[in-house]
Amino acid sequence: MRSAVTAAINSIGSSLTITEYTDNDTDGGYSGAGEVTVSTQSETAIPYEEFEKLTTEKFGKVGSGGTQVALKYSVTLSNDAKYKVTWQDEVYDLDKIKRYTIQDTLVAYIITVSKRLNQ
């Protein structure tokens, strides 16, 4: 299943950039001085609905909520970090990271994103 999901993401996915950042608080947090980039990853993603189509036949519905996209299992994400996601020329905040596993094997990450208000 992992190979099928990865092949589908590679085949029909579009580019997505994940930027880990920290808040720039050198001014005491009063001016909203912005963000400091920690790292950037370029990935390929498919809409969650496409991922769900791949898995529904064998495993049933995996749930939804918000704007979700599926990423390959090899992406590096941490629940302790802040990320913004640039996908299809839009910038989002990454709200939730979910590991999608089958029989204790990581198959993909499902991330939930929301449109950034300041973009």
pTM of the prediction?
Answer: 0.59
Q: Per-residue confidence at 116, pLDDT binned at 50, 70, 90?
A: confident
User: When comparing pLDDT for 51 and 46, which is higher?
Assistant: 46
Q: Per-residue confidence at 62, pLDDT binned at 50, 70, 90?
A: very low
Give the ranges where 48-98 is alpha helix by DSSP (H): 48-59
Q: Give the model's pLDDT for residue 104.
A: 92
pLDDT higher than 50, residue 3: yes
Mean predicted confidence (pLDDT) in 15-35: 77
Q: Per-residue confidence at 119, pLDDT binned at 50, 70, 90?
A: low
Task: Identify the structural domains of the chain with CATH numbers, from first to last.
Answer: 2-115 (2.40.10)
Strand intervals (E) in the chain: 14-23, 35-47, 67-72, 82-87, 90-102, 105-115
In this structure, are residues 25 and 52 in contact, taking their beta carbons and an 8 Å threshold? no
User: When comparing pLDDT for 26 and 112, which is higher?
Assistant: 112
Q: Which two tokens stand for residue 92?
A: 């989002």
